[in-house]
Each structure stands twice: as structure tokens, then as C-alpha cells.
Amino acid sequence: MPPSHWIESLKSDFRISKKKQGNRDHPVKVTVVEVGKGHSAEESSSTIDSAPSSSSPLSSSASEGSSPKVQLSEPFYPVSLLLQNDETQVAVASLPGNLGVPSVPKDEPPTTIDPQDAGGPDGWVPRDPRMVRLTGKHPFNAEAKLNDLFNQGFFTSTNLFFVRNHGAVPKVDLDMAKHWKVEFTGLCNNTSFSLEDLRTKFEVVTIPITLVCAGNRRKEQNVVQKSLGFSWGAGGVSTALFTGVRLCDVLKYVQPERGAKHVVFEGADQLPNGPYGTSQLLSWASEPNKGMMLAWAMNGKPLEPDHGFPIRLVVPSQIGGRSVKWLKKIELSAIESQHHLHFHDNKVLPMPVGPDQARVEKSWWYDPRYLIRDLNVNSAIACPDHDEILDAPPSNTYTLRGYAYSGGGRRITRVEISLDEGSTWRLAEIEYPEDKFREVAYDDTIYGKVDLTASDLCFCWSFWSFPVLVEELSKAAAITVRAMDEGLALQPRDMYWNATGMMNNWWFRVAVHHLEGDKMRFEHPTMAGTQPGGWMQRIKDEGRDPTQPRFGDPAPAAPLKDASAEKASDVVMTKPGVNRKITKAELAEHTGPENPWFVVQGEVYDATTYLNEHPGGPQSITLVAGDDATEDFMAIHSADAKRKLAEYHIGTLEGSLMEETKDAPVDDTIFLNPKQWKKSKLVSVNDVSKDSKVFRFALDKDEQALGLPTGQHVYVRLKRKTVSSGKKAADGEMVQRAYTPLSREMDKGHIDMLVKIYYPSNVFPTGGKMTVGFSELEVGDMVELKGPIGHFTWVGNGSALLHGKKRTLRQVGMICAGSGITPILQVLRGIFEDPSDTTTEAWVLDINRYADDILCREELDTLAARNPSRLHLRYSLTGQPIPPDWEHSVGRMDLEMIKTYLPKASEEGIVCICGPPPMEQSGKESLTSLGWNPQEQVVIF
């Protein structure tokens, strides 16, 4: 093909979207190089009549000579954000149509803010309203409807490309983008590269790559049993042209040192446990054929905010979680990434390990055998669509269509279709659009080098089709697809359910419903996110097992096996060979927090070694020390937890404790009872921040005291209002945990609970079980209370009880975050509202994301103002942006902050901490390094 024809094609494919007309357009020179078998390279340059202005994000100019010079757009900024400015002109160029390669869809970039994002941390990011949100309003995790995605063809527009965010999108302005650098550290020549450095020092390339979330099709697993992840449909897969530089070239430049085995990547996002990060084996990252790249453009335009602007890592054929966005740092290391989500995400744990067990037993997450890198073989049916109605003559042909992909660069070698639920199979036709790129080589000033002529690896999805007569389809009860790759990996018939719900790739089945008049309606297995529909939930609601569907069998499908709700009688909670008989007197000797024993169903358990590992905290165990805990334990623990209890079985109790508990004397002037649950009615709910509420519960009598010493806590138990088939269930999951009330010790007739609601998110897909349970409560609902509990009590006049021992304290340090302020506030009241105490000093370090998240700030500030020499109050914010008039600290708690804003270790000193477990642990370790005794001087509420 003459190169001049390519230029004419480029003219026709070159679009200009103007928000305001009238500016003069400047021409751009484009050099096209055609390379074909048996032909030498030919060059041609031409002026495009409707070329972008010099301010266009895609403007570029070819250097004189045979090799075009690749330039970054000026200004280099996401097109959707530029189009928000009425004065901006934006040009969009695609690859020349006559190259014979697939074209990129022409969706206009979104320019409006979705109402669901307004007012939130992503309230500046334009997004396409067609995207299906999977995690509520924030963070943004979304996929396109399968029909919309498939209809776009081989390439996916940026608008509908799936998004996996763990938190807020880093807000990068034009100046930040201009000065953005990727830092190389560790076992190499330490240096940093701007985008301009990368563009000029290394060859710029463009590669078509399919990215797939490891959770693609997870909704199917969540229907069977809820996993730890949120519900992806079959649209967690997308394909784009990525432009940047090869990672292997940059690694060669920085010269890895002996001992470097891993390449660790870190993004700029701010998450509760640090930025997102993960790693690759250096041997893989240095291999050109692996195709890893540092990319700044997607489909010929700068990356959009959701996709990693201004630069990201792109790793072909591996799970999407390896392609780190908003890339800031690359470290050459002897060990793999130590980032939190490198370990606590992107794992396929063994099937027997349930979600609760995975949460408790952290060792599973650190076992390298369960790490996911390469994608597995997978396929799905896109046509027919879910709820599509087919009304056609029997002689007509209907073409079944869908996608298939695999990992590790492996090609899909066969796709098979069954119309009789897997008894027989027939081969579908497979189309490989990626192969079109193996037939041409092309250079220009936007895409750099586009050349797969020497590559045999498959980095993209393929499409399959299977024509079938409507008459034959009318006899089928289901359509089933499976694929195989060149490594002979075949999609399995049965689901491999796992705690993370990742890499789900069992046969994709579409049910066929036969309607009146020879019509047919098709039903996919699930619908993404919270969308209703799908044969899996329907079968489950009918009491059948969705993992063993029988569409055409008139006999009922297999009965439902609810893996999340095993009966207690089905779980053995005793240890084989343990025959010891334990007396009540012997049990009574183990009621303290050091070596607690308790009873469940007449069996005795020693939880001493498990105190610090218990997810509900040690107090939930010490509260029942020496008592019968059958009711509490059986009500809230899963089958995994019941099974694990056997490890701590030490014998059988002689006699029963239940009658003794019933006959215990009751003081009705005090509401709380440490041995019995008491019901309390919700009388009011008041919002105090965007995610925090004060719940007031009534006591038995208006003049009744709660009976809670300062510094102690109350156990709260409630039933979740679970939802099944759109209706509220009568018996929800029982949950419980300890809280410190907001109300004062002298208050009577009520108790106030300040609760921060942890709504479902990508980090916690189900949200906080207890706090979401609180959010479901309505006035008039009942909860149960028990207490007091706790190992710390502020007695007054500079003294406290710690583990039953009285201590004189004159320096009290306090660290808290969020609703962890409540026990801190109670102790502060005990100190500064005590007229007999004029010398005790307190230091408070209160960490929150945003200023509006600081709870009880008015009372804290008032106490500090009234006691300027005794109360030293310091706030710190971890989120962006920081208020312009902010005078306190910025950033997470660290050693330097503790040294600066808390007292020094002393004999009459103590530090109390209440916050997320990682913060509590980090604080305890930092205090220990500064000379504090962690057993006697650090209190974890």
C-alpha cells in the first residue's frame, strides 16, 4: 500500500473536538514507515489539514530524517479534564485506518461529574455513567455492562475500560504532571526519570494489551458463598493501546546490582495501610518478551485519572493488580514487595480456608505458593445477552459470540460450545485481532514504534463465534462455553471456590428459557455488583446448589449446601484423646486475663495462647473467663472458628454453671451485668459526621445508672438485618464487640454510643460487620449489652487501676484515630473534671483523614483551652487536600510524631492507644523503642 494512502486515512481518522471555535490550527508533520516482507522501508510525510494547535494534548512534530521524534502532548493532561475548560481545543488521533489493524472506539471523553462522586474525594474525576459501580459511591470500582463492552470490539474506549481503585484517585494538576518523576532506588544506580527523560532516553513503543482483574466473574463465587471481595461480573476485562517505554530498557539503564532479585513498584495513592505496591521477579521484568512497560498514554491519549495519570506500570498477561497506577517509585530489592496489599490481596487461598479463617490466620497471606501472577484460561458468552429475547423462525441462524483469554502470553487454541450441558462439545471459530499487529510496522510522533512483527506471544483477548440454527437452540436448556490455551489448560466444569473469590473460571453457562410462541429468553449466571438477576441466585433461592446446575434435567438439582452456615453438630469442637475432667473450683482459678479458661457446651477451653490473635480482641475472651460462653460463642462464630476451637480443648467440666448464673444476685440500681446480656432499646440516632452517628439506648429505668467505671467498656450484641432476595431476613447474623460510650459516668437512664460506620468498600467489601449492623438499626430496635469489661480504670486524683494494680500516674499520653476518641475522652474527663487533681498532665495525638473526621473536636478544644498548661492536644491529617489554615500536623503517626507530641517515658507515665489494629501495633512498637514498658505502661483500649 502506498504510504500516501496511509496519510489520507490518517486525515480521515483525525478528529478535532472543540469546546470553543476560532483558534488557529497549526499543521503537524507525520512520518509513516511501512515495513513488509520483501520490501524496503518507505517514508512519506504530509501535512494534515485539520491538525491540532500547539496547545493540543496530542500535538507533536516529526524530526527531520527517517525516525520521527516522539513528543509528549503539550499540555500533557487527561483529555476529559482539558475538555472541562471551555477555552480548550482537544484533538484525538487514531492509528491510520489503512494499516489494517483494529480501530479504537470513538467515544467522547466524559466531562461531567457523576452525582455519586460529588462532594467526595473523587468529586473532580469525570466518569461515564454507563459504568456499573461495584463498591457503592467510593472508592470507584466499576465495569461496563458485558453487552456494551463486547459491542466496542477489540479495543475498549477509556470511558468503558474497567476500573480497580483501592482508594481516592491522586489529584495531579498540570504543574505536578510536568514535574512528575519516577524514582529508582535500592540495589541499582539510584536515579529518577521525568516523563520527558523516559521519552528521550528510551525507545517509545505502543503495544495492544488486555488487562483483566483477578476478580473477574467473582459475583458467581459470591452467590455460592460470600468471599472477601466485591462482586465483579464478566466485564472486569478490557483492551487498549498502551504507549510508553519498555521496563527492561529502563532496568538495563539503572544497572541492577548483584543480589537484586525483585523489582518493587509503588503508587502515589494514599491508603489506610500505605500506598498500593507490589513486585515482579527481576528476571521477568528484565525480559523483553514479557512486554512490561511504563506507560503514559492509552489509546493515543494521556492516561485518564482512573487509569493512572500521569504514568503507570502495565504488565501483559498477568492479573490487573500487578499493573501499578500513579507510579512514583521503583525499588530493586533482594526481597519481594513488603506493601500491605502485595500480601493481603491477589491470592488464591486453598478451598478449605474460609473467609473467617483467612482473616484470623495471617500466615495464609504470606505463603508464596498462593500468589497470583499469570492469568488463567477463561471465556464468557456475550451474545446472547442477559434477558435477551430471541423471536426468529426455526430455519434462521443465530450466532453465539463471546471472548476468551489466557495468561503468560499463551494463545487460546480452542473454544468449545455445548448445547446439552457438557455431554457433547463442538468447536467454535476463533478470531485473533491481535495478529493484525504482527503484519505491519509503523512509527509516528504519538504512538512511537508499533511493531509486533517479531512477537509470537498473545497479550490480548480473542473472540469466538458459533452459528447455530434457531431450531437447534430451541431444544437446548443451556449454552455452555469452555476454552483451552496452548499449554493445554482447560476451563474446569466445577467452581474452585476460594476465600478471595479470585480467578473464577469454571464453565460459563447461559440458561435458555422457552416462552410462548417459540420465543426464547436467555439468562446469564449473574449480574455485576448489586444488580439483581441471574440463574445462580435464582437456583439458590429455590434451595438448590448453584454449583451443580441442572437446566434440562426434570429431576430437581442438587440440594443447596450452605458452606457459610454449617450446623454446630456438623463441626467437631473437641480434641481427640482429651478425657480430662475439670472441676468448677479448678475452672474458677482461671478467671484472670493472664490464663483465661471458658466453657462451651460443657467442654473447657484454654485461650491463653490465642489472646493476642483473636480478631475481636483479647477482652472478648477475658470477659467470659471462668464462665459458660456457649451462648455467645455459638451465636457469632462461623464454622471455621468452631473448628479451630478444638485446638484449645483441655477437658470436660464436671457439672453445670448455668444454674449458678441464674441464681446470682442482681443490683437493679445498676444496669450493666458482667455475666448476663441485658436488652436496651434504641431511642434516637444523630449524625455527627458523614460516616459517624450517635446512637442513644434506653436503660431499664430513667434514674438507673449504667455502672461503667471511667476507662472501661461495654459489650454490644445485635442481629444484622441481612437481605435475601430483596427481603429483610427474620434472623440475621449475630455480631458483637466492645465499645466505650460517649455518655458520662454520672448520666442516668441512657447510654450514648458514638459509632463510625465502615460502609462496604474495596478494602472491606462487606464493610464493618458491626458498624454496618448499627447503621441498619431503626428507632425501637433492641440490642443487648454486657459489662463492664476492660483492664484499665481511671480512679481519680492521678491514679488508675491497670490489671487490678493501683498506679500513680502524672503523665498520661494518648493516641487515637476516628471513633477511638471515646475511651480517650472518658479518661480526659476523669482527669480534668476532677477538682482534686491539679497536677496530672495529658498529651493527645488524634489522627484522622480529614478535618471534618475529627470527632468530639469541640469538647477536646474546650478542655485544651481551659487547661493550657496540662493538656497538650495535637491533631494530624492524612488526607488531601489539607485546609489552608491548618496549624497541626500532616501525615500518619510515626516515631518522630510520637517523640514530639507525647511525653517521655517516666515511672509515673502511661500511654493509652485506641485505633485501627495496625496503628495500635505500630504505636506500641514505637513506644517500646523509646523506653516505654509495653506490658505495664502501654494500654491498648
Q: What is the mean pLDDT of the segment spanning 781-800?
A: 87
Q: What is the mean pLDDT of the segment spanning 477-491?
A: 97
Q: Check pLDDT > 70 for residue 659.
A: no
What confidence tens digit (pLDDT) does each residue in 131-141 have?
A: 999 987 889 99
- Write down the residue that cell numbers 439506648 correspond to: 697
How many angstroms from the chain centroid is the CA of residue 357?
19
pLDDT at 85: 67
Confidence of residue 360 (pLDDT cuts 50, 70, 90): confident
Confidence of residue 672 (pLDDT cuts 50, 70, 90): confident
Give the CATH fold of the 378-436+449-541 domain. Immunoglobulin-like (2.60.40)
pLDDT at 558: 56
> Out of 45-54, 207-216, 415-424, 783-792, which region has the weakest mean confidence (pLDDT)?
45-54
| Cα 441 from Cα 916, distance rounded (Å) | 54
Confidence of residue 589 (pLDDT cuts 50, 70, 90): confident
With contact defined as beta carbons under 8 Å apart, do 707 and 699 qualify? no
| Cα 383 from Cα 582, distance rounded (Å) | 66
| Cα 57 from Cα 105, distance rounded (Å) | 19
| Residue 777 bridge partners (DSSP) | none
Confidence of residue 36 (pLDDT cuts 50, 70, 90): very low
| Cα 816 from Cα 848, distance rounded (Å) | 9
| Residue 678 bridge partners (DSSP) | 785
Confidence of residue 765 (pLDDT cuts 50, 70, 90): low
CA distances from 7 to 26, 66, 301, 858 (A): 17, 16, 20, 67
pLDDT at 564: 40
Is the sign of the CA dihedral 475, 481, 484, 485 positive or negative? positive
Host H or E run for residue 330: strand 327-333
Q: What is the mean pLDDT of the segment spanning 885-896?
A: 90
pLDDT at 348: 97
Q: What is the mean pLDDT of the segment spanning 754-778?
A: 78
pLDDT at 50: 28
Confidence of residue 591 (pLDDT cuts 50, 70, 90): confident
Report the percent of the chain where pLDDT is more than 90.
53
The neighbour count for residue 207, using CB atoms within 10 Å, is: 26
For the structural domain made of 568-659, what CATH number should be given?
A: 3.10.120.10
Q: Check pLDDT > 50 for residue 20.
A: no
- Write down the residue that cell numbers 441485658 correspond to: 678
Report pTM: 0.62
pLDDT at 622: 72
Q: Check pLDDT > 80 for residue 25.
A: no
The neighbour count for residue 526, using CB atoms within 10 Å, is: 25
| Cα 854 from Cα 31, distance rounded (Å) | 58
pLDDT at 720: 82
Instruction: Tell me the average pLDDT of the chain.
Output: 84
772-811: burial string, b at 16+ Cβ within 10 Å, e else: bbbbbbeeeeebbbbbbbbbbbbbeebebbbeeeebebbb
CA distances from 825 to 70, 619, 789 (A): 60, 20, 17
Q: What is the mean pLDDT of the segment spanning 595-623?
A: 77
Q: Check pLDDT > 70 for residue 323.
A: yes
Look at residues 821, 831, 833 and name the one whose alpha carbon lies nearest to residue 913: 821
What confidence tens digit (pLDDT) does each residue in 185-195 have?
A: 999 999 999 99
* Amino acid symbol at 474: S
Confidence of residue 18 (pLDDT cuts 50, 70, 90): very low
All 3 cell numbers of residue 713?
467498656
213 is in an annotated binding site: yes
| Cα 806 from Cα 797, distance rounded (Å) | 12
> Out of 367-376, 383-392, 580-589, which region has the weakest mean confidence (pLDDT)?
580-589
pLDDT at 90: 58
pLDDT at 48: 27
The domain at 174-370 falls in which architecture?
A: Alpha-Beta Complex (3.90)
pLDDT at 592: 74
Q: Check pLDDT > 90 for residue 317.
A: yes
Q: Check pLDDT > 50 for residue 928.
A: yes
Confidence of residue 718 (pLDDT cuts 50, 70, 90): confident
Q: Domain 792-941 has what CATH class?
A: alpha beta
Look at residues 515, 495, 513 and name the one whose alpha carbon lies nearest to residue 505: 495
DSSP 840-909: -EEEEEEEESSGGG-TTHHHHHHHHHH-TTTEEEEEEE-SSSPPTT--SEESS--HHHHHHHSPPP-TTE
Q: What is the mean pLDDT of the segment spanning 212-227?
A: 96
pLDDT at 160: 97
663 burial level (CB within 10 Å; 0-12, 13-18, 19+): exposed
CA distances from 52 to 7, 31, 62, 379 (A): 15, 16, 14, 41
What confidence tens digit (pLDDT) does each residue in 82-108 have?
A: 887 655 555 566 788 888 999 999 888
pLDDT at 614: 66
Helix (H/G/I), strand (E/B), else coil: 666? coil
Helix then strand then coil, % of the chain, to nearest 5: 20, 30, 50
Q: Check pLDDT > 80 for residue 764.
A: no
Considering only residues 222 and 35, tell me which one the structure prediction assigns the higher pLDDT.
222
Q: Check pLDDT > 80 for residue 604.
A: yes
Helix (H/G/I), strand (E/B), else coil: 55? coil
Q: Check pLDDT > 70 for residue 326.
A: yes
All 3 cell numbers of residue 411?
494463545
The neighbour count for residue 265, using CB atoms within 10 Å, is: 29
Residues with a catalytic annotation lie at 213, 345-346
pLDDT at 616: 57
884 burial level (CB within 10 Å; 0-12, 13-18, 19+): exposed
Q: Check pLDDT > 50 for residue 44.
A: no
| Cα 793 from Cα 745, distance rounded (Å) | 12
* Amino acid symbol at 459: F
* Amino acid symbol at 359: R
Boundaries of every domain in the chain: 174-370, 378-436+449-541, 568-659, 665-790, 792-941
Confidence of residue 704 (pLDDT cuts 50, 70, 90): confident
What confidence tens digit (pLDDT) does each residue in 515-548 have?
A: 988 899 999 999 999 899 999 999 998 888 999 9
587 burial level (CB within 10 Å; 0-12, 13-18, 19+): buried
| Residue 724 bridge partners (DSSP) | 727
Instruction: Give the list of residues 6+ apart from residue 271 with CB closer than 8 angstroms, or none.
Output: 166, 167, 340, 341, 763
All 3 cell numbers of residue 657?
454453671
> Out of 156-170, 248-262, 880-894, which region has the weakest mean confidence (pLDDT)?
880-894
| Residue 728 bridge partners (DSSP) | 723
Q: Long-range contacts made by residues 618-621, C-beta under 8 angstroms, separation at least 24?
A: 618/593, 619/713, 619/738, 619/789, 619/790, 619/791, 620/715, 620/736, 620/737, 620/738, 621/596
| Residue 484 bridge partners (DSSP) | 414, 490
pLDDT at 258: 94
For the structural domain made of 665-790, what CATH number should be given?
A: 2.40.30.10
CA dihedral 721, 725, 726, 732 (to 10 degrees): 0
Report the percent of the chain where pLDDT is more than 70.
85
> Out of 28-42, 400-414, 781-795, which region has the weakest mean confidence (pLDDT)?
28-42
Confidence of residue 769 (pLDDT cuts 50, 70, 90): confident
All 3 cell numbers of residue 896?
518522630
Q: Check pLDDT > 60 for residue 22.
A: no
Q: Check pLDDT > 80 for residue 218.
A: yes
